[in-house]
A and B are shown apart, each in its own frame.
Chain A
Amino acid sequence: AQTVTQSQPEMSVQEAETVTLSCTYDTSESDYYLFWYKQPPSRQMILVIRQEAYKQQNATENRFSVNFQKAAKSFSLKISDSQLGDAAMYFCAYSLPTPGANSKLTFGKGITLSVRP
């Protein structure tokens, strides 16, 4: 079974600084997707970024980028120029690419990020 581990329950960053959130996962599959979701106080789940395992290039979305290390099964999220609105819980998640079949998301426990003004 696939597992996702986020070992840091909380992190804090100064506004405008950079922070990295860590995630490791375990799978025997070679093709899969990894995601970071943001859950602000409103509780809405928002997709931040995704990475396809077969792609060597790390995904980037504006201030958000990932460091995907497939051999190490590591998938960290870097937030640059942190903003107050980045304060939220962040979940790392895993999914198999099986359209039409079950592409359930397996989530880590999440990390609470606070941003200091």
Chain B
Amino acid sequence: DSGVTQTPKHLITATGQRVTLRCSPRSGDLSVYWYQQSLDQGLQFLIHYYNGEERAKGNILERFSAQQFPDLHSELNLSSLELGDSALYFCASSKPGGADSYNEQFFGPGTRLTVL
């Protein structure tokens, strides 16, 4: 158990719908990263939040958005869902660190999204 929780574990929905995936980081971790794992694209970085602020975006579609709340949990919102959005969505969290430290990312168990 990494200490990172994600809900729900599984989500089945229809095309055109909107869903929200939730991530609670480990206690004390300020960074939350979202990754998408799909058969054709592999594991891809989507977005990074640090202490409530967006720090970087990766290959995240405009239909997707995220936020990190004051209690540091994060939500990934996926809208106008398409069949190709079916994937495993991971969040990972890490602590802040010093200039020369390494901040391991601890992964949650993922949310498996199936779009029918």
Contacts and interface: CB of A to CB of B under 8 A. Distances in A.
B45 A106 contact: yes
Contacts of A45: 90, 92, 107
Interface residues on B, range: 20 to 34
A9 to B, nearest CB: 11
Interface residues on A, range: 20 to 34
Interface string A88-109: 0001000001011111111111
B109 A44 contact: yes
Interface in B76-106: 88, 90, 92, 94, 96-105
A52 interface: yes
Given A43-B109, A104-B48, A99 B103 contact: yes
Q: Among the interface residues B43, B92, B102, which one has the most CB atoms of the partner chain A within 10 A?
A: B43
B42 A110 contact: yes
Contact of B103 (A43, A44, A103): A103
B102 A105 contact: no
Nearest to A103: B103
Contact of A110 (B30, B33, B43, B105): B43
Interface of A: 33, 42-47, 50, 52, 91, 97, 99-110
Interface of B: 2, 30-31, 33, 35, 42-45, 48, 50, 55-56, 58, 88, 90, 92, 94, 96-105, 107, 109-110, 112
Given A43-B88, A97-B102, A104-B45, 17 more contacts: A33-B102, A43-B109, A43-B112, A45-B90, A52-B102, A91-B43, A99-B96, A99-B103, A100-B30, A100-B96, A100-B97, A102-B56, A103-B103, A105-B92, A107-B44, A110-B42, A110-B43
Q: Which 6 A-B pairs have the closest CB atoms?
A: A102-B56, A45-B107, A107-B43, A99-B97, A104-B45, A109-B42
